[in-house]
Structure 1
């Protein structure tokens, strides 16, 4: 019986991807580099640090230190986030979060986003009250598909990992979930393009397909 649900954030709870994309591409322009769509798509699920570490390997002309690149990107993102009015929780996710919380199922966030970004999203949408723990990818040297973030999140669960599930929308996230040995629900988000969810245990297209009762019985 499932007792803990581990959520990803970007593309699962809220679609901040357009804001991230705006920030990254503005910075790419400042750095005078051209990042093809196919390359950018592979960064889905990466932390900002791992993204820039990868980019520095592709583009030797980037002379800035990774930490300076991170700071600049976050400044662009935060400015855009604060002025973006059309930012909403994804359809059905708030109802599912409330249903799970009211049913006594533990909720943990495990996101590649920085702590500052997570806090901005959770404060804006009043989500702190539903989650017992928040885990940020900035605390781990490697991003998804490395499973470290999910292994740590599962260690915070009230139950063994066999009674946890992960909800993910990215190729890297699904791979990380399976590498951690945890049941994975693949969310086929319209906001996360070109992602391969085929390794997920089940795939959903809308959060209305799930409720606390269905989730509790996913394994057992």
Structure 2
């Protein structure tokens, strides 16, 4: 994966920039319990990275139609937001978030937030934790018909920001997000959160796995530094070759 020519980074949000996934799981489990639905954790984990509409489709397939999923979702939001208010920004942000976003600004890399969360909640969350000013665009699942793992949201983002697949990378934590990026033919770095990466990803040349955003920043810096050295060497040789004899 060549990172030296990257001008745009598409960041997922939940589970990548903020520590929301375990909080979301506990909140959803509690909401389900209010309606006597004992949800299996593996079933829930398989929905991470996609929209709530897709989550409900999965729940209906597994548990049938006898549960009021719309009420579960309503109560989940109340429980989640109440718990979120109790968490400080420092605890909620993932390690290295501010550093990599500052690096993007310093390096003239355009940062874009691309999430499966709805627009209103996504904007509120990014504003509350001080992340919104770092992004030139904020793209939610509301912008497309088919959510991750379909490629639609990333193809839409390419069109909105006006770049090609060769100029950008996606950074994701979830497998659904990785699938969406790969289906859009965009290089993707996965920083796993609470779901283990799928085994077959490692055979795709557009895929790379790292353990933290700090590691991603180190890779980006290394690629840029290497490119500058090589460019500098090339320029120096050109000057030598054009000197008068």
Q: Smaller-chain TM-score range?
A: 0.7 to 0.9
SS of aligned partner of 1:87: helix
SS of aligned partner of 1:194: coil
1:154 aligns with 2:158: yes
Of the structure 1 ranges 6-15 and 140-149, higher mean CA displacement relative to structure 2 is found in 140-149
Match of 1:79 in 2: 82
Give the count of matched residue pairs: 216
- Partner deviation per Cα, 1:89-139 (whole Å, 9 max, x = no partner): 111121011111121111111111122332232122211111011111244
SS of aligned partner of 2:39: coil
Q: 1:205 aligns with which of 193, 211, 219?
A: 211
Match of 1:128 in 2: 132
How far the C-alpha of 1:73 sits from its partner, in A, is 2.2
Q: RMSD of aligned C-alpha atoms? A: 2.4
- TM (norm. structure 2) is 0.79
- Partner deviation per Cα, 1:62-106 (whole Å, 9 max, x = no partner): 34364x443332222212211234732111121011111121111
Match of 1:119 in 2: 123
Query: Which structure carries more helix by proportion?
Result: 2
**Contact 2:10 2:169 survives alignment (8 Å):** yes
- Matches of 2:81 and 2:212, distance apart in 1: 29
- Partner deviation per Cα, 1:171-204 (whole Å, 9 max, x = no partner): 111111000010111113xx32333253562111
If you compute each CA radius of gyration, which structure gives the higher value, 1 or 2? 2
**Contact 1:145 1:175 survives alignment (8 Å):** yes
- Matches of 2:212 and 2:64, distance apart in 1: 42
- Matches of 2:77 and 2:225, distance apart in 1: 40
SS of aligned partner of 1:202: strand
- TM (norm. structure 1) is 0.87
- Matches of 2:72 and 2:140, distance apart in 1: 19
Of the structure 1 ranges 130-139 and 95-104, higher mean CA displacement relative to structure 2 is found in 130-139
Match of 2:178 in 1: 174
Matching of residues 24-173 of structure 1 within 5 Å: 24-64=28-68, 66=70, 68-85=71-88, 87-173=91-177
- Matches of 1:165 and 1:137, distance apart in 2: 19
- Matches of 1:151 and 1:218, distance apart in 2: 30
**Contact 1:49 1:138 survives alignment (8 Å):** no
- Matches of 1:136 and 1:62, distance apart in 2: 30
